[in-house]
Amino acid sequence: MKRDFLTIWDLSKEEIEALLKRTQELKSGVDANKCPLIGKSIGMFFEKPSTRTRVSFEAGIYQLGAQSIYLNPNELQLGRGETIADTARVLSRYLSGIVLRTYSHSTIEEFASHATVPVINGLSDLHHPCQALADIMTIFEKKGRLKGVRLAYIGDGNNVANSLIEASAKTGIELIIACPEGYEPNPDILDRARSFINKEAEGDIIILRNPKEAAGRADVIYTDVWVSMGQEHEAEKKKSKFKNYQVNKELLQCAKKDVIVLHCLPAHRGEEITDEIMDSPNSAVLDQAENRLHTEKALLEFLIR
């Protein structure tokens, strides 16, 4: 039976732990000369521009012995009226798996419901689960654990925040989100995560307005752009709302001295984060970006047999 990876909920706690272990092995060079996916072809269906998602997946697919095929929807028959369902059914006859990066999460859900091969969410408006896997891998590398780590997310309650909520619930991370009123993460995602935590009795998810309060005693501080792709029409309004949510030297003074700073990139330097912090010894941003490659290789190996 095929497995999809549309959100963090598609993996059990045990599977996440196994993926992180396998990621460590792959990153260390274990099996570097083995090609478990040799002879496979993986589709890359991207509606939105990308740097890290596209390059990390294409490099990882190649390193696992498979072939990546980039698919621009405007160059497919989708641009002439073919349905998502028909496209998914046909591509499933050619490919061993498909990575989608779309504007609407419903597009990924519809595609996956008709595809007969594994579908991986490379980003949607609601979720960014591949980023969350790299995030928790980076935290584990730097802190040696996940359970009980205090993670302060400062900024917009966007797709990255939504997937961090799910990853935190699964791993026992204590997540504190600081955002202005009206910019909270998806309420359904929050409710599901809190319900899961109540059953598991691990972790915590708190929403605050004060970024300094959120950063207090934090082991990890995380931020993302205030204006996501497709929200350019809201740029001035959001910059005004988030002006006090910048990750800077003053904010870091509220956290632990060995706090690490994460950013999923691209960064708008001087807005949500200063150069001083982005390039500081506390920054693990480049390690975090590199871990996209290794976690995605482990994920591809897990899903595509």
Active site residues: 101, 128, 131, 224, 264, 292
For the chain, how many residues are written?
305
Report d(CA 80, CA 78) in Å as an integer. Answer: 5
Backbone phi, psi, residue 98, to 5°: -140, 130
Closest CA to 225 of 180, 268, 185: 268
CA distances from 233 to 101, 238, 239, 268 (A): 21, 10, 12, 16
* C-alpha span between 43 and 304 (Å, rounded): 12
**Contact call for residues 261 and 248 (beta carbons, < 8 A):** no
List, in sequence order, every residue forming a beta bridge with 205; answer none if it has no partner.
175
Q: Which two tokens stand for residue 1?
A: 């039976």
Lookup result for tokens 């961090």: 164
CA atoms of 269 and 21, how far apart (whole Å): 33
Q: Dihedral, CA atoms, 142, 4, 192, 209, nearest 10 degrees?
A: 50
Q: Could you identify the residue written with the tokens 């959100």?
A: 7
